[in-house]
Structure 1
Amino acid sequence: MLPSDLKPEQFAGYPSQARKLAVTHLRTLQQLPLSFLPVFLREVIDYDFRFPAERTAIDHELFTLSSLTPAQLKDWFQAFLQLSLSPKLETFDWINQPAQFVEQLSAYLWTTHQLDAFREAAVTYGNRLQKGAPEQIAVRRLGIAIIGQGVASWNEPLFLNLRKHGTYFNQIKPENGVDLLLAAVEARAKAHPVPYGHWYIDGGHAGDHSSLLSCVSFQKMEPLRAALLKDIQTETAKPGMGPEELRSHMARLSSVDLGIDKTGDDVLERFQVKLLTEGSGTQIFSTTFVQWTTREVLRRAQPVSLFARFAPRQRQRPMNELLSGSGTNLELDPVGSLIDADMAAYYQWINQQRLPHSEQSSFLVWFEGHKHALAISPSLPRGTESSSPLDLGQLLSLATG
């Protein structure tokens, strides 16, 4: 079936808000090429479970496309129209299974040497769409990364990738550092309440925090992680279950499939499942979990506050032991986790810089329990070092002032 044949009843399987959105804009969807539409429907079908920032982006995209004339639409999608698709793709149920269609589309474009053309078309389309996109935010963005939990001493230099971008502080007063930083984020959430706009991510047990913060922690998700690892073991034992088949299976899983009780927050619940089913290593290593979660939160929710605290991960063991989840006395690796988290903090800052108004944002990384920290802010010089004896609250005020 082609997009021009779309009818309202074909979206009956979509969640309520996604169905209403698709039917409302049916005329526009009918004019889009098959090489593009399922990619967009992959976003639309999960509309009910997406963060406000994602919904705003989808709304903007539909508003923009609906405002184009047929001639303009043809111009915008000419490069997509030139791509050839197989009859198998045309008969696929791309309306109800857009994600699976996109997987097959990617494979087909690669085997027919059209992937570069698709990528170029997508980049051009994205650049056009970005013009006029809403970019207002409630307050200047702030990112915080706390690394090195459990490391008694470390003599090697930290934050090397970030030093040229900010000020390195070598005499920070570490007392009550976590509490001071978390309290500051909670104050921001109270002063600028934004749904899913203020986050607390913890690689261990999350501390006491305000309900105004969206919180995800490695330990709290232990039942979900255990259920997923058990499901992976069951599936990999089946004949013919290879990596690609397992990936597709995991992409379809929900918390109900994994036997996890509903929490009342469908958006956050779906997000947590995606963290484990789409991330590599997030089910096993806490440092990987925090790194991937910060990436996804920044990419999807686009928060104005993000507080990420890394915790020691378990040491490497044979993969079959890691996947089995066996062993109650796991050996932790604080030093290895510090090295991981140091690089992850750099990635966190990079991902923050990809968001609108990044030139006005602030970022702080601190070696937990120690006197070393680094702050990046429009109000601080770059590539410098300071020996000012500040506590973490004072440093944060300096970075966000």
Structure 2
Amino acid sequence: MLPADLKPEQFNGYPPEARKLVTGHVAALQQLPLSFLPSLLREVIEYDFKFPAERRALENELANLKSLSAEQIKDWFQGFAQILLSSQLEHSDWVNAPGQFVEQLSSYLWTTHQLDAFRTAALAYADRLRAVAPPELPPARRLGITVIGQGVATHDEPLFRKLRAHGAYFSGVKPENGLELLLNLVAARAKAHPVPYGHWYIDGGQAAPYDPVLTCVSYHALESVRAALSGKIRAEIERPGMGPEALRTILAQMRPADLGLGKAGEAVLDRFQVKLLTEGSGTQVFSTTFAQWAAREALRRAQPLTLLVRFAPRQRQKPMNEMLSASHDVAELDPLGSLIDADMGAYYNWLNLQRLPGAEQSSFLVWFEGHHEAIAIGPSLPRGTESNAAAGLDQLLAWAS
């Protein structure tokens, strides 16, 4: 089937809100090339489980497509229209399984040497869409906080080396009740700027007490989910002929109920957490990887005003099969190695924060938990500077804002 043959009833299998959204734009979708449309439908079919920022972006994209004339659509998508597809792809169920189509398309483009042409067309489309529907600026300045080094008593090597050129390094930080202070500050921001999924607390271990006004995701809270997922992965890889691509497809199709999630009213967050574990490499077994990937995805998808990420000690590296095994032995932790991971993870968090609208006005803080070291980055702080003055974490954030 080709896009021109689309009918509203073909979307009856979509979740309710996605179905309502897409059926209002069928006329526009009928004019799009098949090399492009399933990529869009892959986002549409997940509409019910997307964060508000993602929903607005998708709504704006569809509204723009609906506003284009036939000639404009031809101009916008000429690069995609030149992509040649196989009859197998054309006859696949790309309406109800757009994600699977996109996976098969990627492989097909590679084998037919059309990947570069597709990438060029995709970049051109993204640039034009960004020009007519620019990202919204946040209602308040964004704040990112990363806490690293939990469980490390001493560390002599310099920290924050990749961040020092961008902000001010402080060696006289008052560490008393530091985490509690930061969580209280984050909660206060959430109450001052109430935005759905706008204020996050991500913990790579067991979450500290926090105000429920925050959206919280923690490695410890997902222990049973991770165990269920590991069990399913073990069962799949033991099947004859199971390869990494087939396993990836199976993981992509997993839903919260498959792993023991599915609380009423938490559909969006549950789906987010499942994707963290099924799409992230190593998020099932390394708490530092989990924290960093969760932060990346929260920033990319939810675009929060506030994000506090706390890294915790991960287990020491072992053979992958051993880490995915059903062993009940207590994992040996590696606090020092985790500090090194988290130091780099903090840098990644800052980079991902810089990709969001309004980044030039954002503030960022990294604190070595329980110690006197921190680095603060913000529009009012001089870059590449150092200070040994005694200061609380709240003072650092005030200076960075």
- TM-score grouping bracket, smaller chain normalisation: over 0.9
Maintained 8 Å contact 1:200/1:215: yes
Maintained 8 Å contact 2:145/2:308: yes
Per the alignment, in what secondary structure is the counterpart of residue 201 of structure 2?
strand
Whole-angstrom CA distance in 2 between matches of 1:205 and 1:302:
24
The letter of the residue matching 2:141 is R
Q: Identify the residue that residue 268 of structure 2 maps to in structure 1.
A: 267
Per the alignment, in what secondary structure is the counterpart of residue 168 of structure 1?
strand
Per the alignment, in what secondary structure is the counterpart of residue 38 of structure 2?
helix
Q: Does structure 1 residue 59 correspond to structure 2 residue 59? A: yes
Per the alignment, in what secondary structure is the counterpart of residue 324 of structure 1?
coil
Q: Identify the residue that residue 101 of structure 1 maps to in structure 2.
A: 101
Q: Identify the residue that residue 320 of structure 2 maps to in structure 1.
A: 319
Instruction: Output aligned runs, 1:1-400, within 5 Å.
Output: 1-131=1-131, 132-400=133-401
1:396, CA displacement in angstroms?
Answer: 1.2
> 1:321-340 CA distances to partner (integer Å, 9 max, x unpaired)?
20014133211100000000
Whole-angstrom CA distance in 2 between matches of 1:62 and 1:249:
29
Per the alignment, in what secondary structure is the counterpart of residue 31 of structure 1?
coil
Whole-angstrom CA distance in 2 between matches of 1:298 and 1:134:
14
Mark the runs of 5 or more structure 2 residues left unpaired by the alignment. none
1:263, CA displacement in angstroms?
Answer: 4.5
Per the alignment, in what secondary structure is the counterpart of residue 215 of structure 1?
strand
The letter of the residue matching 2:62 is L
Whole-angstrom CA distance in 2 between matches of 1:88 and 1:174:
62
1:319, CA displacement in angstroms?
Answer: 1.8
| 124-133 vs 28-37, which moves further | 124-133
Maintained 8 Å contact 1:202/1:308: yes
The letter of the residue matching 1:197 is G
Maintained 8 Å contact 2:76/2:125: yes
Per the alignment, in what secondary structure is the counterpart of residue 308 of structure 2?
strand
Maintained 8 Å contact 2:3/2:31: yes
1:190, CA displacement in angstroms?
Answer: 0.2
Mark the runs of 5 or more structure 1 residues left unpaired by the alignment. none
Whole-angstrom CA distance in 2 between matches of 1:383 and 1:47:
43
List 4+ stretches of structure 1 deviating above 4 A: none
Whole-angstrom CA distance in 2 between matches of 1:46 and 1:90:
22
The letter of the residue matching 2:226 is R
Maintained 8 Å contact 1:263/1:269: no
What percent of counterpart residues are identical? Answer: 65
Whole-angstrom CA distance in 1 between matches of 2:61 and 2:78:
17
1:272, CA displacement in angstroms?
Answer: 0.5
Whole-angstrom CA distance in 2 between matches of 1:351 and 1:260:
28
Per the alignment, in what secondary structure is the counterpart of residue 258 of structure 2?
coil
Q: TM-score, normalised by structure 2?
A: 0.98
Maintained 8 Å contact 1:287/1:337: yes
Q: TM-score, normalised by structure 1?
A: 0.98
The letter of the residue matching 1:127 is D
Maintained 8 Å contact 1:169/1:386: yes
Whole-angstrom CA distance in 1 between matches of 2:250 and 2:144:
34
Per the alignment, in what secondary structure is the counterpart of residue 145 of structure 1?
strand
Whole-angstrom CA distance in 2 between matches of 1:268 and 1:260:
10
1:257, CA displacement in angstroms?
Answer: 1.6
| 250-259 vs 223-232, which moves further | 250-259
Whole-angstrom CA distance in 2 between matches of 1:342 and 1:325:
30
1:259, CA displacement in angstroms?
Answer: 3.3
Maintained 8 Å contact 2:262/2:270: no
1:172, CA displacement in angstroms?
Answer: 0.7
Whole-angstrom CA distance in 2 between matches of 1:153 and 1:283:
28
The letter of the residue matching 2:368 is F
1:136, CA displacement in angstroms?
Answer: 2.6
Whole-angstrom CA distance in 2 between matches of 1:167 and 1:74:
51
The letter of the residue matching 2:128 is R
Whole-angstrom CA distance in 1 between matches of 2:184 and 2:294:
21
Q: Are residues 325 and 339 of structure 1, via their aligned partners in 2, closer, same or farther at CA, if it must alter by over 3 Å? A: farther
Over the aligned positions, Cα root-mean-square deviation in angstroms equals: 0.9
Task: Tell me the number of residue pairs that the alignment of Structure 1 and Structure 2 aligns.
Answer: 400
The letter of the residue matching 1:299 is R
Maintained 8 Å contact 2:10/2:95: yes
Whole-angstrom CA distance in 2 between matches of 1:260 and 1:301:
20
Maintained 8 Å contact 1:60/1:133: no
Maintained 8 Å contact 1:186/1:213: yes
The letter of the residue matching 1:153 is T
> 1:361-387 CA distances to partner (integer Å, 9 max, x unpaired)?
110001101111001100100011111
Whole-angstrom CA distance in 2 between matches of 1:175 and 1:258:
39
Per the alignment, in what secondary structure is the counterpart of residue 208 of structure 1?
coil
1:394, CA displacement in angstroms?
Answer: 1.2
> 1:341-398 CA distances to partner (integer Å, 9 max, x unpaired)?
0000000000000011111111000110111100110010001111121011111111
1:264, CA displacement in angstroms?
Answer: 2.6
